[in-house]
Chain A
């Protein structure tokens, strides 16, 4: 465990996009974050945007992690983030997305740029994403939102 940040316990909302039913990714991310010492609320597969927003408004997580692998992550992620950021109270919550976001395998820089522009704080494309995700999480202060 990282000694400098070991006291910061984050409340993390793990979710996916509305069309994505894959759940092993969610189970895995939950375990990984819990092992880092954080508290995870896992919304499960096919979570509708409205449900995710309601949960954010109610529990004000310190971080929202969106994971998608079905190839619709870009299209669905764009809708998700614009809806989320349109809520005044949710503008400051760190929100990241990762997984297999398109259907062509290679990282699509254009998609990444657009997702960032639309309001994600970080985009972790498949492959080497987990390491940088871990360091991203370690940088976060608790109670940021």
Chain B
């Protein structure tokens, strides 16, 4: 197979983004900011921030804006809003119980607009991140609050986040994507990011993450979006992650020829290092990965990740640390995916097997899960086959140990069949955290930061 896609400098889009169809439609604040940063060769860094109190949320966004980095803002929603339990939001607010995010539907568009007053002007865009399989009210509220970017997906906001049947989530997300696309009516091209490159955060091999991200991107496109981002969450091995990002660019370049898209890297989404140094070390590795893998944007994690919801100061520390490392990281000369890339081959096989099931990607996704063509390891959702399993190799690569009915060819050694026990599972889940804590303790310094600050 010949390698067709060239991964260019982060400064220029892998595919030239065409202007939105009508001359009166402009890219929304979010998409516009990303493409300008890309043109300037800067990695955009973004927090996972979400506060219950509007004053705090405002302060957090302001601190994000003022951080010494190229940043966009985030409003992460609380778990009650995500699960549609607005009565629980009301009683928590009444009783003074702190929520784990910003309850946007309960506060409503006016109060949210007030909270954002002055902050979003001068081109500082904000994205809503939630995790709801039934996001109609959330999308309606964010649109009325004047926010043009959000995140999700029919699979990635269903399987890891709910027991809602996939069928319902697909319908809900189709409607919500179409609703978001109506922004075009007021001259704004909205942006939607898929969470498909994360799923349960850990122990899902890169090829399936790439495939799910791309498939959800296709779903968004089918439902009217013309500006999307494809996510990929850092896993257990830097070389493997780099290959995954190249595979993602290549697949996306083949499939999204007439829309605006970029790749966003998530700093490790599984069990996080316990120590501050270990946490920063992992964040530094993510920043290096984002730059080397040609991503336009990086979502950071803070030193508080393993323990609790981070403070504003911890978020700023993470943003600035990642930006520093990114500045000091050289882009490697790897162009495109190596022709032999197993991740590309598996991801491409998965995407094509799903596409062949039905012309409507939503229906195809449902059928694929039904048949086990897509099967997320360790996912308890009733619509997930639950036969796939993974393991870590000696050198820390995340590989399949069982693929169930997925169209993935077995390795020469065949599939392992042993189930992990509780101690082994915990060891696999904590592998990255342990490595980073240990390495940071041994080195006693923060090498990545120093390199970043030399400039």
**Interface residue from B92, B100, B425, B429 paired with A70 (Cβ < 8 Å):** B100
Contact A28 B80 (CB under 8 A): no
Q: Is A57 engaged at the interface, CB distance under 8 Å to the other chain? A: no
Contact B100 A23 (CB under 8 A): no
Within 8 A of B (CB), among A33-52: 35, 42, 44-47
Q: Is A54 engaged at the interface, CB distance under 8 Å to the other chain? A: no
From residue B430, how far is it (CB to closest CB) to chain A in Å? 11
From residue B96, how far is it (CB to closest CB) to chain A in Å? 11
From residue A122, how far is it (CB to closest CB) to chain B in Å? 20
B157-165, B254-262, B339-347, B408-416 - interface stretch: B157-165
Known contacts A19-B79, A35-B421; decide if A102 and B98 are in contact (CB<8 Å). yes
B1-9, B19-27, B304-312 - interface stretch: B304-312
Contact B83 A19 (CB under 8 A): yes
Contact A31 B200 (CB under 8 A): no
- For A1-36 the 0/1 string (1 means CB < 8 A from B) is 000000000000000001111011011100110010
From residue A80, how far is it (CB to closest CB) to chain B in Å? 12
B37-45, B172-180, B376-384 - interface stretch: B376-384
Q: Is B82 engaged at the interface, CB distance under 8 Å to the other chain? A: yes
Contact A31 B421 (CB under 8 A): yes
Contact B308 A103 (CB under 8 A): yes
From residue A25, how far is it (CB to closest CB) to chain B in Å? 10
Q: Is B99 engaged at the interface, CB distance under 8 Å to the other chain? A: yes
Interface of A is mostly: loop
Q: Is B85 engaged at the interface, CB distance under 8 Å to the other chain? A: yes
Inter-chain contacts of B420 with A (CB < 8 A): 31
In the assembled complex, the Cα of A103 lies from the Cα of B99 at a distance in Å of 8
In the assembled complex, the Cα of A21 lies from the Cα of B381 at a distance in Å of 10
Contact B162 A70 (CB under 8 A): no
Contact B425 A72 (CB under 8 A): no
Inter-chain contacts of A79 with B (CB < 8 A): 88
| B307 nearest CB neighbor, chain A only | A105
From residue A34, how far is it (CB to closest CB) to chain B in Å? 8
| A26 nearest CB neighbor, chain B only | B380
From residue A13, how far is it (CB to closest CB) to chain B in Å? 14
| B203 nearest CB neighbor, chain A only | A24
Inter-chain contacts of A75 with B (CB < 8 A): 88, 91-92, 95, 97
- For B275-308 the 0/1 string (1 means CB < 8 A from A) is 0000000000000000000000000000010011
Contact B422 A31 (CB under 8 A): yes
Q: Is A124 engaged at the interface, CB distance under 8 Å to the other chain? A: no
Within 8 A of A (CB), among B55-108: 78-80, 82-83, 85, 88, 91-92, 95, 97-100
Most buried by A among B79, B131, B304: B79
Inter-chain contacts of A102 with B (CB < 8 A): 98
Known contacts A46-B162, A72-B79, A105-B308; decide if A19 and B88 are in contact (CB<8 Å). yes
Known contacts A31-B421, A44-B380; decide if A24 and B202 are in contact (CB<8 Å). yes
Q: Is B426 engaged at the interface, CB distance under 8 Å to the other chain? A: yes
**Interface residue from A42, A72, A103 paired with B380 (Cβ < 8 Å):** A42
- For A64-76 the 0/1 string (1 means CB < 8 A from B) is 0000001110111
Known contacts A24-B200, A27-B425, A28-B426; decide if A72 and B80 are in contact (CB<8 Å). yes
- For B360-388 the 0/1 string (1 means CB < 8 A from A) is 00000000000000000011111000000
Contact A19 B85 (CB under 8 A): yes
Known contacts A70-B79, A105-B308; decide if A45 and B100 are in contact (CB<8 Å). no
Q: How large is the interface on A (under 10, 10 to 19, 20 to 34, 35 or more residues)?
A: 20 to 34
Contact B425 A105 (CB under 8 A): no
| B131 nearest CB neighbor, chain A only | A21
Contact A18 B100 (CB under 8 A): no
Q: Is A131 engaged at the interface, CB distance under 8 Å to the other chain? A: no
Contact A71 B309 (CB under 8 A): yes
**Interface residue from A27, A45, A74, A104 paired with B308 (Cβ < 8 Å):** A104
| B80 nearest CB neighbor, chain A only | A19
In the assembled complex, the Cα of A79 lies from the Cα of B97 at a distance in Å of 13
In the assembled complex, the Cα of A63 lies from the Cα of B224 at a distance in Å of 49
**Interface residue from A27, A35, A74 paired with B97 (Cβ < 8 Å):** A74
Q: Is A100 engaged at the interface, CB distance under 8 Å to the other chain? A: yes
In the assembled complex, the Cα of A76 lies from the Cα of B161 at a distance in Å of 16
| A44 nearest CB neighbor, chain B only | B380
From residue B257, how far is it (CB to closest CB) to chain A in Å? 35
Contact A44 B79 (CB under 8 A): no
In the assembled complex, the Cα of A23 lies from the Cα of B39 at a distance in Å of 40
Residue contacts A-B, CB under 8 angstroms, 23 given: A18-B88, A19-B85, A23-B160, A24-B378, A24-B429, A27-B378, A28-B425, A28-B426, A31-B421, A31-B425, A42-B380, A44-B380, A44-B381, A44-B382, A45-B161, A72-B78, A72-B80, A75-B91, A100-B307, A103-B308, A103-B309, A104-B309, A105-B307
Measured CB to CB, the residues of B under 8 A from A are 78-80, 82-83, 85, 88, 91-92, 95, 97-100, 131, 160-163, 200, 202, 271, 304, 307-309, 378-382, 420-422, 425-426, 429
Q: A24-B200, A26-B380 are in contact. List 20 more A-B contacts (CB 8 A).
A: A19-B80, A21-B83, A21-B131, A21-B162, A23-B200, A24-B378, A31-B425, A32-B422, A45-B162, A45-B163, A46-B161, A70-B79, A72-B79, A72-B99, A74-B97, A75-B88, A75-B92, A75-B97, A100-B307, A102-B98
Measured CB to CB, the residues of A under 8 A from B are 18-21, 23-24, 26-28, 31-32, 35, 42, 44-47, 70-72, 74-76, 79, 100, 102-105
